[in-house]
Amino acid sequence: MKKYQMLIGGQWVDALDDRTFDTENPFTGTAWAQIPRAGARDVDRAVAAAAQAFNAPSWSALSASARGALIRRFADLLTTNADRLADIETRDNGKLIAEMRGQLRYMPQWYYYFAGLADKVEGRVIPIDKPGVFNFTREEPLGVVAAITPWNSPLMLATWKLAPALAAGNTIVWKPSEFSSASALEFGALFEEAGFPPGVVNIVTGFGNEIGEHLVSHPGVDKIAFTGGDRTGQSVYQIAARSIKPVTLELGGKSANIVFEDAVLDDAVKGVVSGIFAASGQTCIAGSRALVHRSIYPAFVDALVAFARTARIGDPSRDDTQVGPITTRPQLAKILEYIEIANAEGAKLALGGKRATDPACGEGWFVEPTIFTDVGPKMRIAQEEVFGPVLAIIPFESDEEAIEIANGTIYGLAAGVWTQSITRALTMSQKLKAGTVWINTYRAVSYMSPFGGFKRSGIGRESGLSAIREYLQEKSVWIDISGSVPNPFVQR
């Protein structure tokens, strides 16, 4: 079994008390690597290393252009190593190799983009309303950023934090999910190879419930960038509030894919299927609710079920597999429980509905692509994030009703709209309470476009120009240019 070490202060180390845990392959259900199980003292040394690196001239005195060049070097290495890292991700989290390769090959763009932005962060000169003073602003890094990431797109979601945070001049302590730490540690080696000074990027592996609170509440940490479930996000937010730490939270969703009667049916079918069954539904942006206009409801459901039925389920490391396993054992149990809940609530099962036993699935943790029809908008299956290949189809009669149902959850991460009417498309883009609205497409993301949630789906934005602001703080500098400091006892 492969044995990994953590990256702290430029050194590859075991946990101080030598504890480890096994990481399992979701397709075979067997352990394949041993990961250090960090404790509070390991977090302490990672934070200390990041704080030291933040102040060391090797990082703090580096010009922004040189910082950009370093990030570009990392992006080059990532490009060369993309397919190797994709293999590790697939082994560790069970996502399809085709998807992971696509993600990894695209990922360097985030680093090139933010590397380019590093030396374009500028302050302002403010034409202040007082005579004899000059006022300007500086944009400064925050310090040590704790990045906490989930298992579903481990390196991509870390990249959304690391690229802007490093471009802005911060240092990092990254805690990947316990279910996807191997690829994080392989990724960490590339920062070393690119020539980042020791301690600029540190990786501590372990269990969120053991070290998460310690990391978030740590006095040496200046900012939290978190992606994960909304309950964990809530706890992170509460703990960060105790020491008034800024946070970025990318949380869950219950996104609606809305199919109007004037949609191109085939396109909408493909969009809804990709929204929910890609990555076996284990994406925050999963279009887990399909809202379908009553007039096309039966035809759409038939076409959707027929198309979803063709999905090839099985070994995620095969190029032709279309639906892979569920990443973790607890997640498998959670999805099967939601299927029971939906049945008990009276939703009508149109496809799937159980653990997949196809021979292609072996001993893996698979759930059949599952579709429920006639779902009521207030049922739990229409309100709660399942994070699996389970679609809830809800009929609607009017545009107003579609908006009301789409907006009627605690979440606001994304929405899809399928229509040929430009007026309807623009009206929906305005009225939907979601951080991303896709019209006649679904799941598109780019390093250039902001991503984040409305409502309980999160705070702050990742990607795009504004993302770097999440890792900067603005300072106002006043200079007296009058040449004489006034007598403070004389009121002016």
Tokens of 283: 């994406």
Least separation in angstroms between residue 400's CB and ligand NDP is 28
Q: In this structure, how many other beta carbons lie within 10 angstroms of the beta carbon of residue 10? A: 16
413 interacts with ligand NDP by CB under 6 A? yes
- In order, the DSSP letters of 162-175 are HHHHHHTT-EEEEE
**Within its chain, how far is the Cα of 143 from the centroid?**
22
281 interacts with ligand NDP by CB under 6 A? no
148 interacts with ligand NDP by CB under 6 A? yes
Strands laid side by side in the 472-480 sheet: 125-126, 133-141, 472-480
149 interacts with ligand NDP by CB under 6 A? yes
- Residue 250 annotated in active site: yes
Q: Which of 151, 277, 366, 442 binds ligand NDP (CB under 6 A)?
A: 151
**Closest by Cα among 207, 156, 218 to 177:** 207
24 interacts with ligand NDP by CB under 6 A? no
228 interacts with ligand NDP by CB under 6 A? yes
53 interacts with ligand NDP by CB under 6 A? no
Least separation in angstroms between residue 227's CB and ligand NDP is 5
Helices (H), 319-460: 329-345, 380-383, 399-406, 422-431
Given 24, 99, 250, 368, the catalytic residue: 250
Q: What ranges make up the beta strands (E) of 63-194?
A: 125-126, 133-141, 144-148, 171-175
φ, ψ dihedrals at 481, nearest 5°: -120, 15
Least separation in angstroms between residue 239's CB and ligand NDP is 7
Q: Which is nearer to ligand NDP, 206 or 316 (CB)?
A: 206
Q: Report CA-CA distances (Å) from 276 to 102, 123, 139, 154, 323.
A: 18, 43, 41, 19, 11
Give the single-character DSSP code of 289: E
Distance CA 65, CA 70 (A): 9
How many residues form the binding site for ligand NDP (CB under 6 A)? 33
Query: What three-state secondary structure class fits 228?
Result: coil
Q: Which is nearer to ligand NDP, 416 or 453 (CB)?
A: 453
470 interacts with ligand NDP by CB under 6 A? no
157 interacts with ligand NDP by CB under 6 A? yes
**Closest by Cα among 249, 247, 243 to 218:** 243
How buried is residue 87: exposed, middle or buried, by Cβ count under 10 Å (0-12/13-18/19+)?
middle
Q: Which is nearer to ligand NDP, 248 or 370 (CB)?
A: 248
Give the single-character DSSP code of 196: P
Q: Which of 385, 402, 456, 463 binds ligand NDP (CB under 6 A)?
A: 385
Stretch that binds ligand NDP, among 57-65, 335-343, 361-369, 451-459 (CB under 6 A): 451-459
Q: Which is nearer to ligand NDP, 91 or 95 (CB)?
A: 95
169 interacts with ligand NDP by CB under 6 A? no
150 interacts with ligand NDP by CB under 6 A? yes
Site for ligand NDP in 231-260 (CB under 6 A): 232, 235-236, 250-253
Q: Which is nearer to ligand NDP, 136 or 207 (CB)?
A: 207
Q: Which of 370, 458, 468, 470 binds ligand NDP (CB under 6 A)?
A: 458
**Residues contributing to the site for ligand NDP (CB under 6 A):** 148-152, 157, 175, 177-179, 207-209, 212-213, 216, 227-229, 232, 235-236, 250-253, 284, 385, 387, 413, 453, 457-458
Positions annotated as catalytic residues are 250
